[in-house]
Structure 1
Amino acid sequence: MDARFPFTPYPRGWFQVAWSDELPTGGVLPLSCFGKELVLFRTEEGVAHVLDAYCPHLGAHLGHGGRVQQGLLQCPFHGWRFNGQGACMEIPHASKIPPGAVLGAWAVHELDGVLFVHHGLEGTRPEWQVPPLPEASAEGWGLAQKKLWRIRTHVQEISENIADSTHFRYVHSTLSLPELELSSEGHIFRADSKMLQPTPRGPVNGRIYTEAHGLGYWAIRFTGIADVTFISAATPVGPEHVVLRHTFFLRTPEQPGTSNNVGKALVAEIIRQVEEDIPIWENKIFRARPLLSAGDRSIPALRHWSRQFLEG
């Protein structure tokens, strides 16, 4: 267990491992997630699967040179073929398949152009799914931008940052502190905040509504000067490193021929604020018993909720 964080580096839940368009039909990708080497592949029918990466034969990494053949993932070393459940189905020049020719298989969920993998206690199946994001397929909305960062931190720190209203003024120089309303139910955490957003014509009342499904998926909606919705997905890849992906959707202007410069500027501002947070995340430690002030009520609320994903 890493000294900076007094809990597992690999929480339970759904975590993004790729965007859908990174994995074409018949495609194979190596993955490094949860401190493990995995392989992601898509069959000719378009179904994505994730398996443990190393062939049980002589240990070749199936994500480097592996090929999809008739719905099976073929090892690049000696041609052993595995189905999406990890079972070896074919061995060239062999009439019998050894009983131990099995790879670990991971639950995969694909929606809204995002590929998620479930990380949990060994042998357990997912108890919930990530819900579809209405804006991803709604008329009048479109994909605006995708952004990826690799950060030396823990997914807990990123989650706390989203719910921490006080830091917005001091790190991001916002005009006001958000007024937060918090609630949680099972694996879901919600934060509804109102704050002033700057515009060339003066400040505008804005709203940020956030809904988390586990620590790996946050749907965040901005309204006010523009309508922007994005998926914030932090995935632990090593004991002290996270890959953070943001997938942005913008409402297109109702007036034909009207530019969406305000929405694009808001996306750029969100990206700028993340990059202001990164030096703090990478150089801070986690205080298990922090000294809290009256404005910090969101921190214990989020920690109480997140404990279910961090403990055994």
Structure 2
Amino acid sequence: MKLRRGRTRPYDRELDDRLLPAVGDEQERVPVGWYFARFSSHLSCGEVVPVTYMSRQYALFRTDDGRLGMIDSQCCHMGADLSRCGKVSGEHLVCGFHAWEFDTEGICRKIPGADRIPPRATQRSVPVTERAGIIWFWHGLGPAEPLTGLDFAEDRRRHMHLAGRVLICYTDLLPISEHVTDVAHWPYTHSPGRRMTSVILRDEGRHFSFRIQPADPDGTRIHHFRPYALASLVNPTTALVTPQRGPEPADTPPSMAFVAAVSPVRPGVTIATWGLIVRKLGPDWLLWPVNRLWAAFVWRLVRRNHDADVAILRWMRPVAKDLWSADDGPTVRAYRRFYRRNLAPPEPTTSR
């Protein structure tokens, strides 16, 4: 059986260097919802990679048939790291130490030389799904809720999914996740000289959305895009942002959508990333080169805007006591209330 390791990414190496000796069991409470695990294009069939989220280490793998699993990386047998010594064989993840085989739910399905499998031969697992070119994992007690808001992008004949940059930020989840709601920074970071404001459209339960628009009615563009954008929280820390021509929602699907996702690694370390959903200009059989050039153009524009935030997000810290100005607007405050009302209850303490 040949060992096939997942492709190592720069963010994997950075987390390896900083996290392995210090990962523990303590984790701040974070909202219930789906969180970014990895871009789909960064995990091929038959690959397994180590990931750390919520202060836990997992083995994230894709079977030969394309099914996804995300299970505790510490083997329940003798503690080997499944994400680093394990290998995918068919539909199972096989431990490299004693060849115990686990399915995508973390259930041991085979022990070499054993007549029976002990009932405790299971790994902690979390629900995973795949939408818009991203692998998501569920955090919260009880069954996973449907991941909505990205269904329009599932038709691959009409849309392209582009992976963005994964940024390691050295702060907690909230300061990074609220960044997308802070439109006051736009004229200084993204679009010099053009002040923006926001209008909250929905703020109830697990729903939060707002419209970004120019504070000056004579404003024409936000950098390279139209002056209006709709931001919807498809998860408590994941925003879907779509440009609009005016204040009213468009009747046609957007030409592009920006997905900003934030996931907690452990207290003081957070992953911030983005992806793109780009609508094709026509069918690939006719316009394949044009579609790719269009996608590359949009990707570079978004990358340019995101790069302006890198130094800010990577090293920002929460202040001990908020100090607000009149220009900050109500959206960040409203988002913080939305964030807190969706916090997951503390997990019950269990022993293996």
TM-score with structure 2 setting the length: 0.74
CA contact (8 A) 2:164 2:303 kept: no
| CA apart distance, 1:302 | 0.7
1:91-150 deviations in Å (ceiling 9; x for gaps)? 1112232232111111111122211011224xx222342443424536654345532222
CA contact (8 A) 1:49 1:108 kept: yes
| Residues 266, 68 of structure 1: alpha-carbon distance in 2 compared, 3 angstrom cutoff | closer
Aligned match of 2:338 = 305
- How far apart, in 1, do the equivalents of 2:276 and 2:225 lie? 21
CA contact (8 A) 1:9 1:239 kept: no
- How far apart, in 1, do the equivalents of 2:225 and 2:119 lie? 65
Aligned: 1:164 with 2:179: no
- How far apart, in 2, do the equivalents of 1:86 and 1:265 lie? 42
- How far apart, in 2, do the equivalents of 1:31 and 1:263 lie? 29
Aligned: 1:113 with 2:128: no
Structure 1 residues not aligned, in runs of 5+: 1-6
- How far apart, in 1, do the equivalents of 2:41 and 2:238 lie? 19
Please state whether the residue corresponding to 1:129 is helix, strand or coil. Answer: coil
Aligned match of 2:83 = 63
- How far apart, in 1, do the equivalents of 2:134 and 2:316 lie? 30
Aligned: 1:212 with 2:233: yes
- How far apart, in 1, do the equivalents of 2:264 and 2:87 lie? 27
1:10-66 deviations in Å (ceiling 9; x for gaps)? 443211111222222222222112211101122233211111111111111111131
- How far apart, in 1, do the equivalents of 2:311 and 2:264 lie? 18
| CA apart distance, 1:79 | 0.6
| CA apart distance, 1:270 | 3.2
Aligned: 1:243 with 2:271: yes
Match of 2:313 among 281, 284, 290: 281
| Residues 263, 191 of structure 1: alpha-carbon distance in 2 compared, 3 angstrom cutoff | farther
State the identity %: 24
> What's the Cα RMSD here?
3.0
| Residues 179, 139 of structure 1: alpha-carbon distance in 2 compared, 3 angstrom cutoff | farther
Judging by fraction of residues, say which structure has more strand.
1
TM-score with structure 1 setting the length: 0.83
Structure 2 residues not aligned, in runs of 5+: 1-26, 215-219, 246-253, 346-352
Aligned match of 2:324 = 292
In terms of mean alpha carbon deviation, does 42-51 or 7-16 score higher? 7-16
CA contact (8 A) 1:8 1:310 kept: no
In terms of mean alpha carbon deviation, does 279-288 or 157-166 score higher? 279-288
| Residues 209, 136 of structure 1: alpha-carbon distance in 2 compared, 3 angstrom cutoff | farther
